[in-house]
Amino acid sequence: MSSASTAPLDILNEVFGYAAFRGQQQPIVEHVVAGGDALVLMPTGGGKSLCYQVPAIVRHRRQRGVAIVVSPLIALMHDQVGALEEAGVHAAFLNSTLSLEEAQQVEREMMSGRLVLLYAAPERVTTPRFQAQLESLHERGLLSLFAIDEAHCVSQWGHDFREDYLGLSVLHERWPDVPRIALTATADALTRADIIERLQLRDAQVFISSFDRPNIRYTIVEKDDARRQLLRFVRDEHDGDAGIVYCQSRKKVEETAAWLNDEGLSALPYHAGLEADVRRRHQDRFLREEGIVMVATIAFGMGIDKPDVRFVAHLDLPKNIESYYQETGRAGRDGEPADAWMTYGLADVVNQRRMIDESPAGEEFKRGQRAKLDALLALAEAHDCRRVRLLAYFGERSTTCGNCDNCLHPPATWDATEAARKALSCVYRFHQQRGQRFGAGHLIDVLRGKETEKVAQYGHRGLSTFGIGADLSELQWRGVLRQLIALGHLRAEGEYNTLELTESAREVLRGEVQLLLRVPAEAPRRGRAARGGGREKPAPVALDEDGQRRYAALKAWRAEVAREHNLPAYVVFHDATLAEMARRMPASLDALSGISGVGARKLEAYGEDLLRVLAGVPA
């Protein structure tokens, strides 16, 4: 095969070391290479980057020229450019981390047509100066392709709307003959329609891959001392693993990270309020070191290519299923088993409802956000397969997965219809008594017949509803109230989250609505043995004792190379590639080239070293 080949499959093999495309990659690549526009929906870890990187290389080899990749994240730019340069593809980025001299050098490379790919943020791409440079490239036939990553950012219905993306319609208006590929991991039908409209992709071919991530196990538990629940989960199942813990507030991020460190874990905080240097340092440690737990707000994660994140945990309820799917998708990008674990409670439901109600957005937008939250709450409260519900949200039919908490440990349920009527009746009695309103805590005390100061102060011992729910625990009552608020029969108002009835509460009070709830319980512990664990991470393929030694030696060599080149270890080689080397024991460069993930440039740069490492491990 010639190094100058322009066949997409040859380039996939020569540059990236893969023998075949996955899923829909090949038709997408061929469509874009031929000059067509495309909208690509592909789950995190599905190989979206190759869908524009391969066409960019093909088109560059055929006519020179640069592909412009619009990306909202500096971290993604750095990782992608580092990986491309390692593979022998000339790539660069333009962002605020460059000095004036460095930026000018990148611009010279771009204008010469020598660059294959240039990564830039949307706010730079839409400036008059950058567009003048694009015009000059276009006039000389050196503008090969536009790739718009994280395309959901253009949609007001998406979970991460960014105003700068709106200006990207200019790409079609000014250079309609340059192919465009827009890519995202998460977009429901409404968001897809918005992307097509705002980016003027009406003639684009839409490619929708399966949203299923079968290697991820979904578990959702009710809050009962959330930190302790999290610690139990990490220690039992992911001791020594890399993971991400999402919290809603900056304060909670810092407190949780500090607490996990006190408990003996290596945890780092990450949120937009930290100094840029601190954020960068923490992110670098997460990418380059093993076993780091990043505690973060949603400011962290988009574009992070770390393949061996073994778990993503949520200590607070996300805003919607798109956010949940995007965030959980950062686990297990290498295809190995990973966990998406979440704990949520009554306060989460109240807070999310309030954020929507109090936002300055228009009523139509609020209705859309409420519907999205309702879908997430339905997923959280579900008694049946989580994966079936999750995929159904994106319009994909599936069968029970056998790998979520509900499939593995079917929850017991109880008929909470009568309990719901008691709770609503008690709220009604409060209101009858001089229009009083109270929060969930006091309501539960009254229902359970607890003699508190507040009960005495307001004379609530005399209410007909006092003590009528003594047969239920506080946890059960919180589940009932959470469901009533989730279904919109109760509303929490004001600073103190006081509860009031809504119009639909009448149907519940009349017994016209059945409420079937999960019996509150932690998912049974699976333990590290069930997941093939231990502090030393196992290889991604089965290896005998000698193979494990070779694998360990290869990882040690990779760590040295990564430090020398200032790159995350996975950019040098993925674990799966090293494991395959350890299993097959190639004794020549030709044999080494047949291993998935070993491209021509890496074979030339590292081949002899790898053979020496493999030969030096005693049998």
Return the ∠ at Cα 105 (arms to 99 and 106), rounded to 5°: 90
Q: Specify whether the backbone of 586 is left (phi greater than 0), alpha (psi in -120 to 50) or beta.
A: beta
pLDDT at position 165, please?
A: 87
Separation CA 77–CA 93 (nearest Å): 6
pLDDT for the residue numbered 529: 41
Which residues does the chain have with pLDDT short of 70?
1-3, 156-160, 299, 301-303, 520-541, 619
17, 599 Cβ separation under 8 angstroms: yes
Give CA–CA dist 568/334, Å, rounded. Answer: 15
DSSP character string of 369-431: HHHHHHHHHHHHH-SS-HHHHHHHHTT------S-SHHHHSPPPEEE-HHHHHHHHHHHHHHH
Q: What is the DSSP letter of 5?
A: -
The candidate with the shortest Cα–Cα distance to 83, out of 94, 72, 75, is 75
User: So what's the pLDDT on residue 57?
Assistant: 96
Can you read off the two tokens belonging to residue 381? Answer: 């409260």
Return the closest-CA partner of residue 259 out of 210, 315, 308, 317.
Answer: 315
Conformational region of residue 64, where left means phi above 0, alpha means psi within -120 to 50, and beta covers everything else: left
Pairing of strands 516-518, 413-415: antiparallel
Percent of the chain as helix, strand, coil, to the nearest 5: 50, 15, 40
* pLDDT at position 49: 92
Rounded Cα distance between 97 and 100, Å, is 10
Tokens 């006092």 belong to which residue?
466
Question: Residue 314: beta bridge partners?
Answer: 246, 342
Retrieve residue 506's tokens.
């009448």
> What is the full DSSP assignment across 326-371?
HHHTTS-TTSS-EEEEEEE-HHHHHHHHHHHHHSSS-HHHHHHHHH
The structure tokens 């719901």 sit at: 420
Residue 509 carries which side chain, given as an amino acid letter? Answer: L
Rounded Cα–Cα distance for residues 459 and 475 (Å): 25
Q: What is the pLDDT of residue 494?
A: 73
CA dist., res. 40 & res. 59, Å (int): 19
CA distance 476 to 518: 9
pLDDT value of residue 533: 40
How high is the pLDDT of residue 311? 97
Q: Is-contact 125 166, C-beta < 8 A?
A: no
Cβ neighbours, 10 Å, residue 253 = 26
Residue of 555, 560, 561 whose CA lies nearest to 574: 555
**Which residues are 69's β-sheet partners?**
119, 147
CB-based contact 116:60 (threshold 8 Å): yes
pTM beyond 0.75: the answer is: yes
Distance CA 287, CA 190 (A): 34
Helices and strands, counts by H and E, the chain: 28, 17
Distance CA(238)–CA(230), nearest Å, equals 11
Residue 370: CB atoms within 10 A of its CB come to: 16
**Beta strands 498-501 and 490-493: pairing type?**
antiparallel
Helical residues (DSSP H) of 185-225, grouped into ranges = 189-198
Crossing angle of helices 545-565 and 600-615, in 10° steps, is 130
Set out the domains of the chain in order of their start, with CATH numbers.
8-208 (3.40.50.300), 216-411 (3.40.50.300), 414-518 (1.10.10.10), 539-615 (1.10.150.80)
**Smallest Cα–Cα separation from 10: which of 53, 58, 51?**
58
